[in-house]
Amino acid sequence: MALLSGLGNYKNFGLLVLRAGLGALMIYHGYPKLIGGPEMWGQLGASTKYLGFSFLPTVWGLLAALTETVGGLLFLIGFAFRPVSILLLINMIFASAMHLGNGDGMQGAAHAIELAFVFAGMIFIGPGKYSVDKR
């Protein structure tokens, strides 16, 4: 449609919108986990058992909460973008495994799987020019 063809000139703005929305939502989901303390971290980290990690669940839970919260902020502003995207991708792989392992099926895991694909794609696309990394 010719009417919308000019929007291709605003790819960097589109990346900014994508980064801002996903980054804010990652912070929204991660911050309560981060302030939940060791008990919540242990519960969160216990989900690593579905991928064969049964040791130090509290540490894994803290790392997951930090990845969602701090990683979400860094993703939003576009700083250390590709390493953060890799960490968020790994986090979403574990979240998908948790949902599937808990018996939630594809319906329960779909959101985490979708985000994993988005973060995987963003590794290759980059943050755009409206970011701290400016690429």
Domain boundaries, the chain: 12-125
Cβ-count burial of 91 within 10 angstroms (0-12 exposed, 13-18 middle, 19+ buried)?
A: buried
Q: Provide the CB-side half-sphere exposure for 113 (13 A, CA).
A: 12
Instruction: Out of 21-35, 40-54, 70-84, pick the least confident.
Output: 40-54
pLDDT-derived band at 61 (thresholds 50, 70, 90) equals very high
Separation CA 26–CA 119 (nearest Å)? 12
Q: CA torsion 14→17→20→22, rounded to 10°? A: -80
- Please give the model's pTM, rounded to 2 decimal places: 0.92
Q: What is the mean pLDDT of the chain?
A: 93
pLDDT-derived band at 31 (thresholds 50, 70, 90) equals very high
Cβ neighbours for 132, distance < 8 A, ≥ 6 positions apart: 77, 78, 79
Per-residue pLDDT of 71-98, as tens digits, reads 999 999 999 999 999 999 999 999 999 9
